[in-house]
C-alpha cells in the first residue's frame, strides 16, 4: 500500500482574513475570463476592460492580469517602493 504525503498547509493573514498560501497566489492573478468592469479596483481599468471584451466574445487572446494588491505587495516587500516614491517626488510635472 502506497502512502500519499500531503504538504503542510501554509496559512497567511491578509486584509480579507486568513487564507492558505495557494489561495493567496490565486488572488494575485486573475484570468481575463474571470473579470468584468466591476473589477476595476482589483485589476485596474485595462484588466477589467479586457475581461469585458473577453466576456462579450470578442477576439481577445487568452491572458491574465496581476492584481493591484499583488503589485503593491511586490514593490513593498522588494524594497523598491521608497525608491519609486523618491523618483516620482523629483519629477518635474511641468517638463
List the one residue out of 47, 48, 44, 53 whose CA is nearest residue 36: 48
What is the H or E stretch that residue 84 is in?
A: helix 81-90
pTM of the model: 0.62
38 neighbors 48 (Cβ within 8 angstroms):
yes
In this predicted structure, what is the pLDDT of residue 87?
92
The C-alpha cell that represents 12 in the structure block: 497567511
Residue 93 corresponds to which cell in the numbers above? 510635472
Sequence-ordered strand ranges (E) for the chain: 11-14, 17-20, 29-31, 64-66
Provide the residue-wise pLDDT of the chain in tens; the chain has 95 residues: 445 545 555 545 544 555 556 655 557 899 999 999 999 999 999 999 999 999 999 999 999 999 998 988 888 888 899 999 999 999 998 88
Strand, coil or helix: 30: strand
Amino acid at each position: 500500500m502506497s502512502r500519499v504525503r500531503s504538504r503542510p498547509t501554509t496559512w497567511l493573514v491578509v486584509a480579507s482574513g486568513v487564507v492558505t498560501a495557494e489561495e493567496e497566489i490565486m488572488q494575485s492573478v486573475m484570468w481575463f475570463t474571470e473579470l468584468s468592469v466591476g473589477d476595476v479596483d482589483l485589476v485596474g481599468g485595462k484588466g477589467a476592460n479586457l475581461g469585458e471584451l473577453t466576456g462579450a466574445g470578442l477576439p481577445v487572446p487568452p491572458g491574465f492580469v496581476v492584481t493591484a494588491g499583488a503589485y503593491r505587495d511586490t514593490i513593498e516587500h522588494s524594497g523598491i517602493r521608497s525608491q519609486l516614491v523618491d523618483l516620482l517626488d523629483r519629477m518635474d510635472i511641468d517638463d
